[in-house]
Amino acid sequence: MLTLQKNNLQKLQIIFFLICSFSYAQKSELDIAYDYFQKAVKFDNENNHFKAYENYTKSLDIYKKLNILDSIAKCNLELFDLLNSQNDLNYDAKPFLDAYYQYGLQKKDSLKILISYFRYAEYYFDTNPKSASNFYHKAINYTPKQSSKAIAYANLALLYTQTYPDSASFYFKKNLELIDITNSNALLNSYINYANFFQKQGNYKEAIVQLKKAEEIEPTAYKLKYNKILFENFATNYKALGDYKNAYTYYEKYNIANDSLNFTAQNIAISDLDKKYQTAEKEKRILEVVAKNKEQKKLIIWTIVSLFLIGIISLLALKNSSKKRKLANQEKELEKQKNLTLLKEQELVIINAMIEGQEKERKQIAEDLHDNIGSVLATLKLHFENLKLNREKKQFDQEKLYEKTENLIDETYKKIRGIAHAKNAGVIANTGLLNAIQIMTQKISEADKIHIDVIHYGLHQRLENSLEITIFRIIQELITNVIKHAEAKNVTINISLYDNIVNIIFEDDGKGFDKNNVNFSNGMGLGSIEKRITHLNGTFEIDSTIGKGTTFVLNIPIE
């Protein structure tokens, strides 16, 4: 009996030895992976990109083998940043970012998802501005943090600086509205970028205004570097304006800052070399002590684990059999619940499809009545007001006013008949989008209550018919809202087609409104416009100041 117990004990000790050997091998591999990662960081800092790439990939392979998901994600992000920022490595960076993004989605990690959106935008920034813009907008819509939105708006402004100056200016303003004023370095960067934007547009005076705002900010770090950039930009803009006195003054300041920066950099380099030498000596001594401690810890661990091994294995065996029975019962119950849920979901899908079809049909009829008749009735109301005023003051030709009013009534009747016969394309099908907009705005301007200017660029060819109808309805709805609510005298519609994007900037000089107090879900006004733009995968921005009018910026991609 004693011999049998001894044999069992020896067997358990052998099993434990194998388990612990595997555990230490795994720990050793973990250390190796960590060492590769640290070497890669060091080579990256030394601009030895090939060595950095080699060590990052070795670290990644070991982490994959050990299935340590967080470390795998970290390696993927570092490899993407390395490849995306260097031109001497002929590898595609995107697969590493794709893997990092998928892990963020799987873990529902909001920070990793947000980082992925920004990195995708950086990847496409120079080669595919449209994709970069989409990812910046995804970041804006995804994060509630004002600071992250401010960064995305700043990058959008830089992206649009060359192609869409109006949109770039709009995003620069958004950036300055949302940026944290306590973050002095970020605010300083925003003003410098805004000044560079005005400098590229040839607006040197406004560039100097922005630079003066930046000059008033005290940076928390890199003061010499910021002074160098500021003084050089001041000198360049003053020189462009012909103010050579100020240009010379700032060139002198630039040279002083540049010399100070070079001197400081030399001192930092000498200090770093001394620190590295001292650190290397300390690390050597620490490694010797750690090696001795590891040997002692191994002996202690062997002794402690041997005492608890027999009891642990027995408990695990009992618990394992009990869990298997419970799991089998749970799986049967779950299978029943899945079947019941599937049947209910299929019934709901059929019911929802029927309701959705009915709702679409009703909504289409309602939108047609609202879009076709609403703007004409609003214009007709203006004509009746003019008739009423003219009866007292005799300012207009009475016969012409009656004739215009009668023509509008005839037009309303024809549109109602057109809707009844499902001919909702109207003037767009015959004359095209641009002509339809110009005809509509001319008729409204003839009422002498509001003046509308249409400025266009790039619309030389017809767009797809349904897209033209949608854009016309959106502009028609915006004009109707101005007539009903804005009390504006002038409206300007800028519409352009560039790089497969229709850009619309709609501005009025009315009383403005607080967009935070507007319920977009009520009615078929701004909410309807927003839904249409979303359906077209476009963007819809509103900038309104009470007493100073409203600006709508729409970007609609086309196939």
- The domain 431-559 is classified under which CATH number: 3.40.50.2300, 3.40.50.280, 3.30.70.980, 3.30.565.10? 3.30.565.10
Contact 2, 20 (CB under 8 A): no
* Contacts with 139 (C-beta within 8 Å, 6 or more apart), sequence order: 114, 117, 118, 121, 148, 149, 152
8 Å CB contact between 419 and 369: yes
Could you give the CA distance from residue 97 to residue 123 in angstroms, rounded to a whole number?
Answer: 10
Residue 363: its pLDDT value, please?
67
Q: What is the C-alpha separation between 460 and 473, in angstroms, rounded?
A: 20
The DSSP 8-state label assigned to residue 183 in this structure reads -
Q: What is the pLDDT of residue 179?
A: 81
Q: Coil, strand, or helix at residue 505?
A: strand
Task: Give residue-wise pLDDT tens across range 112-147.
Answer: 899 999 899 889 988 898 898 999 898 888 888 888
Residue with tokens 């266009």: 456
pLDDT bin (cut points 50, 70, 90) of residue 361 is low
CB atoms within 10 A of CB 180: 12
Mean pLDDT of 410-430: 62
Angle, helix 223-241 to helix 184-200, in steps of 10 degrees: 20
Average pLDDT over residues 216-234: 85
pLDDT (mean) for 227-254: 90
Chain centroid to Cα 160, Å, comes to 14
Considering the chain, what is the average pLDDT of its residues?
Answer: 80
Coil, helix or strand at residue 111: helix
The whole-number pLDDT of residue 106 equals: 93
31-62 per-position pLDDT tens digit: 899 999 999 999 988 888 889 999 999 999 99
CA atoms within 13 A on the CB side of 555: 17
Query: Does the pLDDT value for residue 360 go beyond 90?
Result: no
pTM: 0.43
Comparing 150-154, 186-190, 358-362, which segment has the lowest mean pLDDT? 358-362
Sheet containing 490-498: which strands, arranged edge to edge? 451-457, 490-498, 501-508, 549-557, 539-545
Residue 279 confidence class, pLDDT cut points 50, 70, 90: low
Does residue 231 surpass a pLDDT of 60? Answer: yes
Helix then strand then coil, % of the chain, to nearest 5: 75, 5, 15
Nearest C-alpha neighbor of 462 from the set 500, 493, 426, 434: 434
Given a cut of 50, is residue 425 above it in pLDDT?
no
Q: Is the pLDDT of residue 321 over 90?
A: no
Separation between Cα atoms, residue 137 and residue 99, nearest integer Å: 21
Q: What pLDDT shows up at residue 163?
A: 82
Among 482, 524, 498, 273, which residue's Cα sits nearest to residue 379?
482
* pLDDT value, residue 276: 53
CA distance 472 to 437: 7
User: What's the confidence (pLDDT) of residue 225?
Assistant: 82
Tell me what pLDDT residue 238 has. 93
Query: Cβ distance 131 to 124 under 8 Å?
Result: yes
Backbone region of residue 455 per phi and psi (left: phi > 0; alpha: psi in -120 to 50; beta: other values): beta
Q: Which residue has the higher pLDDT, 352 or 414?
A: 414
Selected residue with higher pLDDT from 554 and 267: 554
Lowest-confidence range among 360-364, 382-386, 542-546? Answer: 360-364
Interior/surface letters 208-243, b for 16+ CB within 10 angstroms, e for the rest: bebbebbeebebeeeebebbbbbbbbbbbbbbeeee
Measured between alpha carbons, how far is residue 347 from residues 301, 340, 353 in Å? Answer: 60, 11, 10
Mean pLDDT (whole number) for 313-328: 81
State the SS3 of 70-102: HHHHHHHHHHHHHHHHCCCCCCCCHHHHHHHHH
Domain ranges across the chain = 27-140, 431-559
Question: Counting beta carbons within 10 angstroms of the beta carbon of residue 460, is it exposed (0 to 12), middle (13 to 18) or buried (19 or more)?
Answer: exposed
Torsion-angle region of 543 (φ positive above 0: left; ψ -120 to 50: alpha; else: beta): beta
Q: Superfamily assignment of 27-140 in CATH? A: Tetratricopeptide repeat domain (1.25.40.10)
pLDDT reported for residue 23: 46
Q: How confident is the model at residue 183 (pLDDT cuts 50, 70, 90)?
A: confident
